[in-house]
Amino acid sequence: MSVPPHAATLDRVTQRYGRVVALDAVSLQIPAGVMAGLVGPDGVGKSTLLALLAGVRRPQQGGLSALGEDLRDAAALERCRQRIAYMPQGLGRNLYPTLSVAENIAYFSRLFGQGAAERSARGAELMRATGLAPFADRPAGKLSGGMKQKLSLCCALVREPELLILDEPTTGVDPLSRRQFWALIGRLRARRPGMSVLVATAYMEEAERFDWLAALDAGRVIAEGSPEALKQRTGCATLEAAFVALLPPARRDGHAPVQAPPPAPRPPGEAPAIEAHGLTKRFGDFTAVDGVDLLIPRGEIFGFLGSNGCGKTTTMKMLTGLLPADAGEARVLGQRPGGGGDARQQVGYMSQAFSLYGELTVRQNLELHARLFHLPPRQAAARIAELLGDFELEGVADSAPEALPLGVRQRLQLAAALVHGPSLLILDEPTSGVDPVARDRFWNHLLRLSRQEGVTIFISTHFMNEAERCDRISLMHAGRVLAVGTPQAITAERGAATLEEAFIAHLEAAAGPALGEAEAPPPALRPPAPARPGFDPRRLLACAWRETLELLRDRIRIAFALLGPLLLMLAFGFGISFDVENLPYAVLDQDQTPESRSLLESFAGSRYFSERPPLRDLAEAEAQLRAGRIALAVEIPPGFGADLRRGTRPEVAVTLDGAMPFRAETARAYVTGLAQTWLRDRQAHSPLPRSETLLSIEPRFRYNQAFRSAVAIVPGIIMLMLMLIPAMVAAVGVVREKESGAIANFRATPVTPLEFLVGKQIPYAAVALASFVLLLLAARLVFDVPVRGSGLALAVGGVLYVLASTGFGLLISAFVRSQVAAIFAAAILSVVPGVNFSGLLVPTSAIAGAARAFGLAFPASWFQKISIGTMSKALGFAELWPNHLMLAGFAILFVGGAALAMPKQEA
């Protein structure tokens, strides 16, 4: 196939999420064989566009093609999954954090059907080329942001793509790692000149180096061309300025360039706003902040520059008192943070993510702050009105923040941090993801606060141009401060042209040169075999292998899956009992003759009853019953013995506590039986002529002669547990990938829904079977319920049943998005029919109508027949085989249904 002139083309593509238009009739021709970039702030449609080209989102409207293939055609799309690689947004979001570097790469190799030899060769080459080789065994979750991105890139490159799609690959990564990442991409392109690269980025500095750019705003392309062409067209020196100039006039409204006047001089000898010495924080064996010293005078704007995870946030939390320091000392406005002083009344804090209440309106959020800072109501109202005006929030005062654009929410957070008029602001990356216009507006607010109101501002950022606006900055990396000073001084000190280069020079000096990376020759890889269409067992095994590793390394899930059923079985076994015994009772014997005593002795001798002190009168009987201290009161009237001897049928009154009807009915049956036995015994010993017992009824309690609850309940508990727990765990197993973002790998690779789901099901079914064995052991050893019938019939039934229950979990996972929803949906949907309609408490023969149909439409009622049949009724295949057939049918139905309900593309 010849290389087409365009890597991808879009023809009036429109994409909506509900009422939000993400892409608005976008037409683009993205050139092939170059570095092409999409620029623009968060939420303008960059990610949607990339996801459409990567084939992970279903296109709604318009024409879409990549590498000369029409992406709306299913077969062409399948071919493209081999040729296009996609790295989604978010640091390492498509990686498996508990898998090691080598295992992550191996998983992707397996997904593309690569054999063991090819897998290890390719993995070794990629790790060498990216400098990850020394960390091959480190779990992906423990890598730094830059290393995660390199690993993500390795995983994308396993398939030798012709088009590489990268969604914000360097956001939140330190400048050195960023530079290394782009150098790596450059080497890869040198090796494969035909490879096209399409990158989305929010860093304008980065975009300056691309060959071709498209600038997006509000779902529309506002400009395209080379960076030089864009700058020329607008007459701007930087791309960022060009971007602002290219915005439609309405969006530029109110934009004023940021001009930082020098700080006002402060009175000499004034105590600093923040002072810290040797501040240190450790989490386990990881040192997040390592001996940080800070001295920030009042009225200054102090910038904190560094990558994600370098310790900026942790330092700020220690200064606000949210985290205790492990070593070192800090003074904020002269007080120790977290020391209980009133420094918090003087500090405004804005955390990295939006952390106000999305459920409250803008005004209610501000009111909550005012109340918590104990502002008098009148003053609070005035202050809120003032802030709403200052921060241009009046128009949205009664809307929920969730519906507002990011830039407006950031202004709201700043307003909330200012409600109590603090003299110090601690702002943690307040402008991440905000568009340049809103960012400049935000900075103008900050400068006003600092220069006019004398507020000290401690702000962290990873934007170099923001750092340049600060009075002084500190560069931070891996928990340490590398340099402190004015931006000009730091740049000059290293003899660098820009602040970024100075930062990189500091990072290199701190870390030493990157090991063996720059010199590594580009990997010489053979092209991989094309993916096999249709069902491929190797891809299924790849999914099973990866799921098994993850499950074995997640202690909470494996414990829940294996031991949860056992624990619940013990609770059920002891908690649900129909063995009514030791019923507390008391007697009111108003006769006190040998006859009355003999009747009462038969109560005392029964294991069903346990005697409490005798009653004085009827009132006491009533009180004792009311208090629940006795379950029944036996009253023998005066003259009972004499009447009995005379044959005038004396009355014995038994009063039962009917609060719990089952217990009351059972007690009534016991009392009746006891009275009859007593009379029969009396007649047997009586010298009087006996009246013949004409009719006797012989109850034969089959299967359970001793009439123990456990024999009936335990097989039912096994039925319930093997439904509930495997369904929950399997559902969570899929949904957690939706939450983490790793589901993108399913969408962007040739693996089919059936391979993916059955691969996932295998480890969960295996754990469920192990738990089945534990349940059977507990049934035998704790509850003395052995398997009396065919063990084979039970084992086969068990295997089919866990396939059905895990399949049910998979089916649920297709319809829910969060783990909580998966857990509750799986629990409710399996417990309701399992407990009510499957014969656990009520025999299925007593259930009729819709409830009966509901029970039959669920595997639990069929396995109940197998479990109680083999365990308690001593049955085998001969009697039970139809149930096995039904279970196999359910397993196929559920897994097939789940595969059909799980689309390869996100809507």
Residues 776-835 that bind other proteins (CB under 8 A): 818-820, 822-824, 827, 835
**Minimum distance of other proteins from residue 709's CB (angstroms):** 5
Query: In the window 735-774, what residues touch other proteins (CB under 8 A)?
Result: 736, 739
Kindly give, in sequence order, each residue whose CB lies less than 8 Å from that of residue 350, ignoring residues fewer than 6 positions away. Answer: 413, 414, 416, 417, 425, 426, 427, 428, 430
Q: Which is nearer to other proteins, 79 or 597 (by Cβ)?
A: 597
**Minimum distance of other proteins from residue 643's CB (angstroms):** 9
Q: Tokens 């014997």 label which residue?
A: 589
Looking at residue 587, its amino acid is V
Nearest to 546 by CA among 143, 102, 103, 101: 103
- Please answer whether residues 764 and 73 qualify as being in contact, where contact means their C-beta atoms are separated by less than 8 angstroms: no
Q: Which is nearer to other proteins, 483 or 569 (by Cβ)?
A: 569
**Minimum distance of other proteins from residue 541's CB (angstroms):** 27
**Minimum distance of other proteins from residue 170's CB (angstroms):** 23
Using the contact rule CB under 8 A, the part of the chain among 8-16, 59-67, 519-527, 840-848 near other proteins is 840-848
**Minimum distance of other proteins from residue 447's CB (angstroms):** 23
Nearest to 749 by CA among 580, 531, 570, 449: 531
Check residue 352 for interaction with other proteins (CB under 8 A).
yes
DSSP 19: T
- Please answer whether residues 419 and 375 qualify as being in contact, where contact means their C-beta atoms are separated by less than 8 angstroms: yes
**Minimum distance of other proteins from residue 192's CB (angstroms):** 41
Q: Which is nearer to other proteins, 137 or 651 (by Cβ)?
A: 651
Q: Which is nearer to other proteins, 138 or 852 (by Cβ)?
A: 852
* DSSP reduced 3-state for 477: strand
Query: In the window 265-294, what residues touch other proteins (CB under 8 A)?
Result: 281, 283, 288
Q: What are phi and psi of 346, to 5 degrees?
A: -105, -5
Looking at residue 490, its amino acid is I
**Minimum distance of other proteins from residue 324's CB (angstroms):** 6
Query: In the window 499-558, what residues touch other proteins (CB under 8 A)?
Result: 556-557
* DSSP reduced 3-state for 132: coil
CA 524 to chain CA centroid, Å, is: 39
Query: In the window 370-399, what residues touch other proteins (CB under 8 A)?
Result: 371-374
* DSSP reduced 3-state for 285: coil
* DSSP reduced 3-state for 259: coil
Q: Which is nearer to other proteins, 129 or 725 (by Cβ)?
A: 725
Name which position in 31, 260, 354, 392 contacts other proteins (CB under 8 A). 354
Which x/- pattern over 863-902 shows residues binding other proteins (rule: CB under 8 A)?
A: --x--xx--xx-x---x-----------------------
Distance from C-alpha of 729 to C-alpha of 557, rounded to nearest angstrom = 7
**Minimum distance of other proteins from residue 879's CB (angstroms):** 6
H or E element in which residue 320 lies: helix 312-320
Q: Which residues of 109-129 are buried (b: 16+ CB within 10 A; e: fewer)?
A: bbbbbbeeebbebbbebbbeb
Using the contact rule CB under 8 A, the part of the chain among 124-132, 260-268, 564-572, 892-900 near other proteins is 564-572
Name which position in 108, 203, 572, 808 contacts other proteins (CB under 8 A). 572
721 to 89, 304, 688, 717: CA distances (angstroms): 39, 53, 59, 6
**Minimum distance of other proteins from residue 747's CB (angstroms):** 21
Using the contact rule CB under 8 A, the part of the chain among 67-75, 94-102, 256-264, 351-359 near other proteins is 351-359
Neighbour count for residue 496 (Cβ, 10 Å): 16
**Minimum distance of other proteins from residue 17's CB (angstroms):** 19
- Please answer whether residues 405 and 44 qualify as being in contact, where contact means their C-beta atoms are separated by less than 8 angstroms: no
Check residue 122 for interaction with other proteins (CB under 8 A).
no
Name which position in 379, 574, 605, 617 contacts other proteins (CB under 8 A). 574
Name which position in 229, 489, 576, 774 contacts other proteins (CB under 8 A). 576
Q: Which is nearer to other proteins, 14 or 709 (by Cβ)?
A: 709
Check residue 141 for interaction with other proteins (CB under 8 A).
no
DSSP 341-375: SGGGGGEEEE-SS--S-TTS-HHHHHHHHHHHTT-
Q: Which is nearer to other proteins, 198 or 583 (by Cβ)?
A: 583
Question: β-strand 212-217 against 220-225: which pairing, if any?
Answer: antiparallel
Query: In the window 577-636, what residues touch other proteins (CB under 8 A)?
Result: 577-584, 623, 625-628, 631
Question: Long-range contact list for 617-620, CB < 8 A, 24+ apart?
Answer: 617/588, 618/588, 620/588
Neighbour count for residue 276 (Cβ, 10 Å): 23
Q: What angle do CA 483, 446, 90 make, to 5 degrees?
A: 65
Which x/- pattern over 49-78 shows residues binding other proteins (rule: CB under 8 A)?
A: ------------------------------
Query: In the window 693-732, what residues touch other proteins (CB under 8 A)?
Result: 693-705, 707, 709, 711-713, 715, 728, 732
DSSP 224: E
Check residue 692 for interaction with other proteins (CB under 8 A).
yes
Looking at residue 705, its amino acid is Q
Query: In the window 317-346, what residues touch other proteins (CB under 8 A)?
Result: 317, 320-324, 342, 344-345
Q: Which is nearer to other proteins, 511 or 566 (by Cβ)?
A: 566
Distance from C-alpha of 416 to C-alpha of 423, rounded to nearest angstrom = 14
Name which position in 117, 519, 619, 691 contacts other proteins (CB under 8 A). 691
Name which position in 421, 433, 528, 564 contacts other proteins (CB under 8 A). 564
**Minimum distance of other proteins from residue 624's CB (angstroms):** 10
Q: Which is nearer to other proteins, 157 or 343 (by Cβ)?
A: 343
Q: Which is nearer to other proteins, 25 or 774 (by Cβ)?
A: 774
Q: For residue 92, what are its two tokens? A: 């390492």
Q: Which is nearer to other proteins, 241 or 654 (by Cβ)?
A: 654
**Minimum distance of other proteins from residue 666's CB (angstroms):** 6
Q: Which is nearer to other proteins, 138 or 663 (by Cβ)?
A: 663
DSSP 323: S
Q: 30: which strand partners? A: 8
Check residue 202 for interaction with other proteins (CB under 8 A).
no
Using the contact rule CB under 8 A, the part of the chain among 72-80, 212-220, 572-580, 796-804 near other proteins is 572-580
DSSP 874: -
Q: Which is nearer to other proteins, 165 or 722 (by Cβ)?
A: 722
| Number of residues binding to other proteins, judged by CB under 8 A | 138
Using the contact rule CB under 8 A, the part of the chain among 70-78, 238-246, 513-521, 566-574 near other proteins is 566-574
Q: Which is nearer to other proteins, 12 or 680 (by Cβ)?
A: 680
Distance from C-alpha of 764 to C-alpha of 752, rounded to nearest angstrom = 19
Query: In the window 649-678, what residues touch other proteins (CB under 8 A)?
Result: 649-666, 668-669, 671-673, 675-676
Nearest to 899 by CA among 543, 538, 531: 543
**Minimum distance of other proteins from residue 467's CB (angstroms):** 24
DSSP 733-792: HHHHHHHHSTHHHHHHSS--HHHHHHHHHHHHHHHHHHHHHHHHHHHHHTS-----S-HH
**Minimum distance of other proteins from residue 194's CB (angstroms):** 44
* DSSP reduced 3-state for 415: helix
Q: Beginning with the edge strand found earlier in the chain, give each strand of the sheet holding 61-66 in spatial order.
A: 20-31, 6-17, 61-66, 69-70
